[in-house]
Structure 1
Amino acid sequence: MQNLARPHFQFWPKRVPTTIVLPETSLWYNLEVSAHRYADKAAIRYFGKAVTFRELEAQATALAGWLQQKAGVKKGDRVLLYMQNCPQFIISYYAILRADAVVVPVNPMNRAEEFKHYVTDAGARVAICTADLGAGVAQALSELAPADRLQHLLVSQYSDALPATHEHPEDAPAAWLTAQHPLPTGATPWAEALGAGLQPGPHTAGPDDMAVMPYTSGTTGFPKGCIHTHRSVMHNVVGAATWSGSGAESVILSVLPLFHVTGMQYGMNGPIYSGATVVMLPRWDREVAGRLISRYQVTHWTNIPTMVIDFLASPNLPEFDLSSLRYIGGGGAAMPQAIAERLRDQFGLNYLEGYGLSETMAPTHSNPGDRPKLQCLGVPTFNTDARIVDPVTLNELPPNEVGEIIVSGPQVFKGYWGKDEATRDAFIQFEGRTFFRTGDLGRMDEEGYYFITDRLKRMINASGFKVWPAEVENLLYKHPDVQEACIIGTRDAYRGETVKAVVVLRAHARGKTTAEEIVDWARENMAAYKYPRVVEFVDALPKSGTGKVMWRQLQETENARNADAQKPAVA
């Protein structure tokens, strides 16, 4: 539990408890309770169309019946959920939970080659996706051995959730949302599954059963499934609502991707628990976001800093009514001080930065609402202990010394799916308790606030999206002209950091294959946030005596180049 000697408790928000007590129930029960309490209240608003809590529960229940009776889903089975933000995502998510199964959210930007890993690693036999991704799913399955393929695929069109007419034509959905895409052969249409009206068996999942398995990448090169129970997810569901002051009267702008743990918790699970209304955007659009905040009097908006930077640059900003906003915050990247100060000075809003990982199902740290610090992770949240330790000796370090951030709390995952060695490496025993090694380097100041300084693990942060070089390298090696590749980060004016590939071409391709061709190929085969934007050809990669690529040397060279480019010219 928390160490009460930690200095941050003297700055804990007033009227907010220092610990929380979690319900001994499943996540599904949160929807069931809200559907009884607020049956006819809008749970979701999507392009002007409202889905009430009663309707959300009924559709999730019917879909759970289909999963159990038609798709053969049993307790503990992993079900892939592969789509952009839309009401169907929330319906599917809670249907999987109602069926006592495990949600495996998949980034919709992933391509067929990447999707195959989720099928085989999770051992999934059922997936739910939208039709625009169906062709990629079909391609992925055709390249798998028959024993590894999905047995059932449920497919929805985005248009299934859209209103017949739009009250506000200026916010009408884009063509990619209204388009009708063909369904893969053998797939079950969304309307058919819901229309069957099948009832699931009794809900038996409890707080310590598996609930969600988000994937995170790592230095091994392939994404790893993070095992979360209903209890570990519930901790930050309850904690987020308590910390941000969210209740049934709140209106939440949900624009972060729901497959990602921050969007999942703040844009879906939290509002369902508290009975709040979610105003959903499938993709970021600053003008539509401004109109939605104004129209629906949005009270809470969790985001990434690049969204706020873009939002404040809108020429229509003076026309937006932001007076209802009382909570704005996020993470994934540091908020520039000038932007945070503008939010505070112009709109009276403190931007509350936080810190968390897929392994912790969102935050382990958050900034207090009445005493935040800029470009700061905040303080450890409810029931959470965090320390700074020497990454080699694992001895705790005093304030303002840089070391590895380790955390212990109810939100910490149970381990990596099927990866016992990686799980063992992720945890240490410290003061008689189990702590998770985040792999991030940081420091704690005298007041108990945490600051991130570097990354112990090899990771690139592109607009808040974590890109793991080893994974990109593994994909890049599939290019027929690539002999060797090393992925590093480079400076980007908008994204902050972006992906660069240092490539050794095969003999037949030297002098022929261009950097643009490598980038184009990567764009077709990798998620949009992940593919290299910059390619540099070299004759050989630097290697250690044991033959390992010295990626750190390449990264330091790139950092030096970027630093030189930032220096002012001498007259």
Structure 2
Amino acid sequence: MPNDKQSPKTWPRRFPASIEPPATSLWDSVAVNARRYPDRAALMFFGSRTTYRELKEASERLAGRLHTLGVERGDRVLVVMQNCPQLVISHLAIARANAVVVPVNPMNRAEEMRHYISDARAKVGITTADLAPELAAASNAMELDEGLAHLLVSHFTDAIAPGDRPGVPSQWRDWLLSRHELPKLASGSVHHWRDAIETGGKSPDLEVARDDLALLPYTSGTTGLPKGCMLTHGNVMHNAVGSSLWLGMTPETANLTVLPLFHITGLVCVMHASIFSGGTMVIMPRWNRELAGQLISQYRVSHWTSIPTMIIDLLASPNLGSFNLSSLAYIGGGGAAMPQAVAETLLDKFGLKFVEGYGMTESAAVTLFNPCDDPKLQCLGIPFLSVDARIVDFESGAELPDNEQGEIVVHGPQVFKGYWKRDEASRETLVTIDGKTFLRTGDIGYRDADGYYFITDRLKRMINASGYKVWPAEIETLLFRHPAIQEACVIASKDDYRGETVKAVVVVKPSHAGVNEDEIIAWCRTRVSSYKVPRFIKFADSLPKSASGKVMWRVLQETELRKT
């Protein structure tokens, strides 16, 4: 039965209150379905069909190559790719090689990537040829004994059906179909993907299971560099299995896989959930509304985990009437609130209720989820399978009654084991309440009388731009390196499309009085991912400061919010 915070009115009656994560590793999901459904499509990508048997075999060959390159149990391997079959194969191969995946946002620039190599102590990276120069540049800027020893590089054409390359949008053809020159790696060797797949060695014995480390995704914070989140096979398997149950996934499910697979939600609730259920991933390398509509129609897509900006864009397509969306049984996601008007359009025109969920990298994605049959709009949902969620007082940690605001904390088998090499940060984030370990989310909210949770504010400074988290401290650190900037404070600005976007308030040095907004933005664009780049620069004579000299960012933030 559900716990006392899940009223019978809200809890889906067909579900148990909790599930036990499988004792096996993530590899076992593909191994099992390669036996059950060897000829079923696991992946579809621009006319190329990969069956479960082919997915397993390719992953085993790559695992063998990783083993011959010296990858051992527990070693960290970087995966830097947009969505493509090679990304899925890489994740499975790393699991099969008993190693740990470090998923890296492909929008990162070399300056950002150096931290992932050094902090994770990774010696092997896997990427696509369009991104390889950036990753090689990151490694080459490091000391020889600290950089990558091996870089495996794939071309998108390694996974796209030959011939006329069906379905590739015209604006993507140069990007996806060109053969890029491979970079040099100062500290090691560059390997071709096809060689690695076709001539891989024997895979090592499978040694990892539920309690072994599986993923090391990085998340930034209020201060300092991004921190690695230690997620075990059990953490990830719980939410992969739970998502497949909650969303009604079966071997007949077709998942539109456009949510980035370097991001924890796409990685766990789409990729691993689909593989566990034996369904098909219809993969898009990035968002394109016309292609999305065509793929939903062509492959009779049943499930689409998304973000509101994608749905808003698709509904605005002049070709919307030509798309057949009748196969969609589930559409939902998180990262930003769904506007009520858009949700009403989905329901009125297509009979679809948008189902919102909530989670963090530290919790292998979902911890709260709306029931699919009874979702509330702009709501985080109810506690997910196996989750104990509470609203607690900021100071005492005491649980608060319904409709009182406090910090959202969650306990469950998906909660991570702590931050990689960051014991103090782990102790601050993982707290003990009633003898159980809870994750402090840093989000302020309340629970209503029906057991649904809502967010009202954040304890942490964070900007949510189309579901991507931007931490102001990171961008402020960058801006301080600009020769013209004396002081900087980064805040969120409302954006009708992205939800929030990045705005910087800066004080310019007297010697650089002529610098303009476009120059600063262009400088930032060469150094950080595009979604982190300030869209607006406001010049100020000074920044508000407290008596101790600290910049009062909240004053600037509240002033910005009052403008909208």
Matched residue SS, 1:410: coil
- One of 468, 475, 486 as aligned partner of 2:478: 475
The equivalent residue for 2:196 is 193
- One of 235, 238, 241 as aligned partner of 1:238: 241
Matched residue SS, 2:261: coil
State how far apart, in whole Å, the 2-side matches of 1:346 and 1:134 are: 43
Structure 1 pair 124/175, CA: closer, same or farther in 2 (3 Å)?
same
State how far apart, in whole Å, the 2-side matches of 1:82 and 1:545 are: 45
Does structure 2 conserve the Cα–Cα contact (< 8 Å) formed by 1:81 and 1:106? yes
Does structure 2 conserve the Cα–Cα contact (< 8 Å) formed by 1:8 and 1:449? no
Provide Cα deviations, 1:460-485, integer angstroms capped at 9, x if missing partner: 11111111101111222232222221
Q: Bigger shift: 132-141 or 519-528?
A: 132-141
The equivalent residue for 1:395 is 398
Does structure 1 conserve the Cα–Cα contact (< 8 Å) formed by 2:219 and 2:226? yes
Matched residue SS, 2:558: helix
Matched residue SS, 1:436: strand
Matched residue SS, 1:221: coil
Q: CA deviation at 1:493?
A: 2.6
2:123 is the alignment partner of 1:120: no
The equivalent residue for 2:136 is 138
The equivalent residue for 2:365 is 362
RMSD between aligned residues: 1.4
Structure 1 pair 368/393, CA: closer, same or farther in 2 (3 Å)?
same
**Which residue identity does 2:29 align to in structure 1?**
N
The equivalent residue for 1:455 is 458
**Which residue identity does 1:388 align to in structure 2?**
I
Structure 1 pair 255/482, CA: closer, same or farther in 2 (3 Å)?
same
Does structure 1 conserve the Cα–Cα contact (< 8 Å) formed by 2:100 and 2:213? yes
Does structure 2 conserve the Cα–Cα contact (< 8 Å) formed by 1:28 and 1:97? yes
State how far apart, in whole Å, the 2-side matches of 1:77 and 1:9 are: 45
Q: TM-score, normalised by structure 2?
A: 0.97
Q: CA deviation at 1:248?
A: 0.4
The equivalent residue for 1:373 is 376
- One of 83, 86, 92 as aligned partner of 1:85: 83
Q: CA deviation at 1:127?
A: 0.7
The equivalent residue for 1:427 is 430
Q: Bigger shift: 161-170 or 271-280?
A: 161-170
Q: CA deviation at 1:505?
A: 2.2
Q: CA deviation at 1:167?
A: 7.0
Q: CA deviation at 1:18?
A: 2.4
Does structure 2 conserve the Cα–Cα contact (< 8 Å) formed by 1:74 and 1:101? yes
Q: Please list, as runs of the form range in 1=range in 2, the aligned pairs for 1:317-336 lying within 5 A after superposition.
A: 317-336=320-339
**Which residue identity does 1:339 align to in structure 2?**
V
State how far apart, in whole Å, the 2-side matches of 1:475 and 1:170 are: 36
State how far apart, in whole Å, the 1-side matches of 2:60 and 2:517 are: 50
State how far apart, in whole Å, the 1-side matches of 2:478 and 2:154 are: 29
Does structure 1 conserve the Cα–Cα contact (< 8 Å) formed by 2:229 and 2:420? yes
The equivalent residue for 1:109 is 107
State how far apart, in whole Å, the 2-side matches of 1:342 and 1:297 are: 21
Q: Please list, as runs of the form range in 1=range in 2, the aligned pairs for 1:215-294 lying within 5 A after superposition.
A: 215-294=218-297
Provide Cα deviations, 1:352-380, integer angstroms capped at 9, x if missing partner: 00000100111101111111111111100
The equivalent residue for 1:350 is 353
State how far apart, in whole Å, the 2-side matches of 1:412 and 1:229 are: 9
Q: CA deviation at 1:171?
A: 5.0
Q: CA deviation at 1:437?
A: 0.3
Q: CA deviation at 1:166?
A: 4.0
Does structure 1 conserve the Cα–Cα contact (< 8 Å) formed by 2:492 and 2:557? yes
2:150 is the alignment partner of 1:152: yes
Q: CA deviation at 1:170?
A: 6.8
Q: CA deviation at 1:246?
A: 0.2
Provide Cα deviations, 1:375-430, integer angstroms capped at 9, x if missing partner: 11110011100000111221111111111000000000000001000000002111
The equivalent residue for 1:567 is none
State how far apart, in whole Å, the 2-side matches of 1:333 and 1:316 are: 26
The equivalent residue for 2:162 is 164
Does structure 2 conserve the Cα–Cα contact (< 8 Å) formed by 1:48 and 1:166? no
State how far apart, in whole Å, the 2-side matches of 1:146 and 1:484 are: 35
Matched residue SS, 2:210: coil
Structure 1 pair 349/224, CA: closer, same or farther in 2 (3 Å)?
same
Provide Cα deviations, 1:282-305, integer angstroms capped at 9, x if missing partner: 011111111111111111000001
State how far apart, in whole Å, the 1-side matches of 2:455 and 2:438 are: 18
Matched residue SS, 2:7: helix
Does structure 2 conserve the Cα–Cα contact (< 8 Å) formed by 1:7 and 1:446? no
The equivalent residue for 2:54 is 55
**Which residue identity does 2:181 align to in structure 1?**
P
Identity, in percent, stands at 55
The equivalent residue for 2:492 is 489
The equivalent residue for 1:528 is 530
Matched residue SS, 2:145: helix
Provide Cα deviations, 1:161-188, integer angstroms capped at 9, x if missing partner: 1111247457575321112211111311
**Which residue identity does 2:110 align to in structure 1?**
A
2:27 is the alignment partner of 1:32: no
Matched residue SS, 1:322: coil
Aligned residues: 559
Q: Bigger shift: 332-341 or 542-551?
A: 542-551
State how far apart, in whole Å, the 2-side matches of 1:453 and 1:120 are: 37
Structure 1 pair 67/169, CA: closer, same or farther in 2 (3 Å)?
closer
2:92 is the alignment partner of 1:94: yes
